[in-house]
Structure formats: structure tokens, C-alpha cells
Chains A and B, each alone.
Chain A
Amino acid sequence: MLVLTRKLQEAIKIGEDIELTVLSIDGDQVKLGISAPKYIEIHRKEVFLSIQQENNQAASISLNTFQALKKIKNT
């Protein structure tokens, strides 16, 4: 991993199009500004991980469940 030290208001550039700026530091909270092209998806990592985890759990379904669901009539 590349490690860079930055001060308040300093930035780093990733490739041509992406720029990260340290906007504020307050104790253990760092506020980052990110400018990137619209097609780049930016998510908090824990949100992405929770979706992954939920998908994994959602995929573990049994034939029994399938049959139980089939019995439920349209609402």
C-alpha cells in the first residue's frame, strides 16, 4: 500500500481524473472531499461490505424455503 502524509487542505491525485482533498480533521474524524468522474462509484467501504454480506446470506436458501414461498398467494 502506498502511504502518503497530507496536511489539511492538501490533496492527492489518482490518475487524471480523481482528486482527494483533506477538508477537515477533528479528533479521529477526517473529512475527505472526492472529485471524480460520474461513472466512478464511490461508497463507504462498510456499506459495500454489508451489501456483500447480505447477498451472501440471501444466496443461502434451501429447496424447502422455495416450496414454502411457493405456497404464499399473491398479495
Chain B
Amino acid sequence: MAEKFDLNDREVWDGNYAASQALRQAQVDVVAAYPITPSTPIVENYGAYVANGYIDGEYVMVESEHAAMSGCVGASAAGGRVATATSSQGFALMVEVLYQASGMRLPIVLNVVNRALASPLNVRGDHADMYLGRDSGWIQIDAFNAQEAYDLALCAFKIGEDHSVRLPVMVHQDGFITSHTAQNVYPLTDEAAYNFIGDFQPVDDLLDFSRPVTYGAQTEEDWHFEHKAKQHKALMDSRPVIDEVFAEFEKLTGRKYNRVESYMMEDADVVIVGLGTTVETAVVAAEELREEGIKAGVVGIRVFRPFPFDQVREALKGAKSIAVMDRSSPGGAMGAFFNEVSAALYTTDTRPLVTNYIYGLGGRDFSIDEAKRIFKEQQANADAGHITTDIQQFSGLRGPHLGYFQTQRG
């Protein structure tokens, strides 16, 4: 058995350290990793735990992220608990193999520290890589701070390894803002954390020589459609499992997670819908605006895939005007997140006003003041009863205003 690691009830960890501690407590069998800023410290710390005897696992050094995820797929198919971490370009290089992992139903945990995609080259955070993985068939969970990066990494193992789910899980955190900012984190004891996750129970493992299996066979048009349908159903059916795991985690720690997090939404007129650290910034702005009499609320999407369509509808049904925040270049369309949230709202009876803000690309700071300005614009929309600005705007961009699709009505 591995060496005991001394933990205090309260630790000062950054998001990377928190994620690496979760991997240690899960006693991951194999980590195949290639370093990339800002996620490097996760696997770097993990390597130190292995070297110092805190983990009875294997640390595989590979020559690229493509090989890292390939190694993870092999190790997971062989029957091990497997995790790794990446960001940005590394994530992009993994994309081909991400589809392999989800198609083969391998419960790999991937810690994604979100960072902008080049070019221009940038190591700071935005959600371009999170969006890149959105159709890859992985469960995607978003942590807003270091504590959540730790908690949700533990939950990720339990969700993905559930035998009715058996899907890989990504745990996202914002590059540098979460990953390199030290905060108080309340960890579980090693025993409590491991008991929560449980032993890894492999299904159809390649190392079972009494029952040899082939993974990832070719199907073509006669079976591909059926397999993809089954994979999609597994992803959709993971929603109650995610809720159960979150409920169990709450029982253990008192920390409650929801697939959609609502803040001050009981009577909110104007709402910011966001992902990651933006949510916390918007919450502070909303609290300050409440003192000015603006009924501001915030909705954070915790589980990005499977997209909580019904919960988004439910959370936003009373709102009058909504700003959907996309921290990724829209690439010639409305922001992808905007499209999904609006799709959920289009099927409600109330159908509130929705605008799209592109903000914070490449680590551009998203300030409380900016969040307040957005809330006030939404208030103007709500008062007018129609959208008074461009439907899509670039917020915090230097130079003249950039926006598209103005709807000026009398």
C-alpha cells in the first residue's frame, strides 16, 4: 500500500494542486501525461506523488498529448483507473483520441485547465478548448474555483465509472484564474475520499485473458449509427447518476453541487448565464446591483455535457432579459453557448430576451464593473421590452464597438 500523505483539515491549494490531490486520493493506476501550460502542475505533482511512494500507480511519459490520451485509452481498456490533464493546443491534439475513448466507453478522467487556442499564441484562459470537446461524447463538468476542482475531480471518477454510465469525464477549470490562484480548500481524508469513489470495477478489461476482447472494432454503415445512438443514450442517462453522485457528495461534505447553479434567481429580472470563474464575478456584481434595486441573478452551467436543457429552461423561465456569456471566439456565428441556451429558452412559453456577449478571450480580465454594465444593459432591455443593443456584442474589446445583428424596434 502507498505511503500516507499528511493532510490538514484546511489546506491552501491552487486549482492544479487540488486536482492532483484528487488524483492521488483516487489512487489512479495509470497517468499518461504530456505537460502543457497551465495544466502542467497537475501531472507534475502527480509524478512527485508516484516518485515519493504516495501512489502505487504508473506514470507514463509520452511524446505528445495525442500519445498521452492514446496511452490512457489503452490503459483504461486494459482495466485500470486512468486520468490525465491537458490544456489548449494539447487538448486540440487529443481531440481525435477523445472520440475513441468515449466511443469505447472508457471511464477516463481528464482535467482540462481551459486556455485559449492559438493563433495568436496565448497561455491564458478562455473556453475555446472546452467548446472544442463539446461533441466528443465526454461528460464535461465545470469547476468555478479550486475547491470545486478538487471536489468535482473526485465526483468525476464516481460518475464515469458507474456501470450504467461508463463514459469518460472532463473536469474543467479556468486557466491561471483557478489553476494558479491559491485558496482555502477543505480536503477529505484519504480514506473518506477513496471510500467515496470506491474500487475500480472494470468491465471487459483487456487483461482478462480468460475472455479476450477486441476494442473499437470497425462498423461502417451497418452498425455505426446504432452504436452512436447507444452512446448518446448513455450520455443522456448519466444525468440522474450525476445528480446521485452530487447528492452523495453533499451527504459526505455538506457541499452541494447542481448541474445548473442558480444564484438569486427566485425573483431575478436580468440574468447573466456563464461558465467558470465568470459566474463568481457575476454573482458579486449581482449582489452589489441588488442594493441599487436591480433584480439581478446569475446562472452557472456546472455540467456542460450532457447539456442540462430542462434545468436551464427551469432556471431561466422567470427572467426578462438574459446575457449569455461566451468566452470563446464565435468563429462566424453566434456563440455556441448562446445557441444552446437560446434553444432551451425558445421552447418556453415566456421566451425571454437573450443577447450574446463575447468576452474575456485569451485571459482578458472580466471585472465586476463589466458584469455590472452588462446587467444594466439587460435592465434596459427588460424595461424597453425588446433588445435595445446588438444581439451579439464583444465586451471589453479595445477600439470601436464591435457587435452584430441590431434589432432596433420602436
- Is the A/B pair a real complex? no
